[in-house]
Chain A
Amino acid sequence: SQQGEEDPQALSIQEGENATMNCSYKTSINNLQWYRQNSGRGLVHLILIRSNEREKHSGRLRVTLDTSKKSSSLLITASRAADTASYFCAMDSSYKLIFGSGTRLLVRP
């Protein structure tokens, strides 16, 4: 069973708008990562936030982490059609990376 849940399951926005995805988890973690997957292909690492960090930025990405609530969010600003993909959070705990259920993002041109 998965130890991470994401919401929303699906998100449809217009190009230029911001997209926010949320991740909740159950176990203690060393770090939390976000990955992107384009239609049935491999996953691509986007960003990592450590358990002692609260916020991190990378280009148009902003990640927050609240370890007291066991939750994280990923914000993609000024979205583009090329951002259309599935996004997964992944919790690093005990030598393995456990993935959340994913959010399918559709960015309409």
Chain B
Amino acid sequence: KAGVTQTPRYLIKTRGQQVTLSCSPISGHRSVSWYQQTPGQGLQFLFEYFSETQRNKGNFPGRFSGRQFSNSRSEMNVSTLELGDSALYLCASSPSTTNEKLFFGSGTQLSVL
């Protein structure tokens, strides 16, 4: 089985732009979670989707949004990028709703200049 795939691996944007990150979960996994990882704040929960519905959302501004498609693939979008949005964005999938074991992708490293 292929693992969780995140694209692109690296991304460089400038302030004010918007960006879309993609995540393909492991086949059969219906839950997808997104995390932001920075040296200062560590791993911060962004949101979680199950069967195209957002089940939970972290404490991030409305500039951060996401969605999940019927094939469980997920995208997250960040609009009006700020320097502080520079981070490693990690996607994780799970076969169930219980979050008992998350399978992570390698992440998208976003740099905002």
Contact = CB atoms under 8 A, between A and B. Distances in A.
Contacts, number: 61
Interface of A: 2, 30-31, 33, 35, 40-45, 48, 88, 92, 94-102
Interface of B: 4, 33, 35, 41-45, 48, 55-56, 58, 88, 90, 92, 97-107, 109
A44 B99 contact: no
Shortest beta-carbon contacts, A-B, top 8: A42-B104, A99-B43, A95-B56, A43-B104, A42-B106, A96-B56, A45-B101, A97-B99
Name the prevailing secondary structure of the A interface residues.
strand
Given A42-B106, A96-B33, A102-B42, 16 more contacts: A2-B41, A2-B44, A33-B101, A40-B88, A40-B109, A45-B102, A88-B43, A92-B98, A92-B100, A94-B56, A95-B48, A95-B56, A97-B99, A99-B35, A99-B42, A100-B42
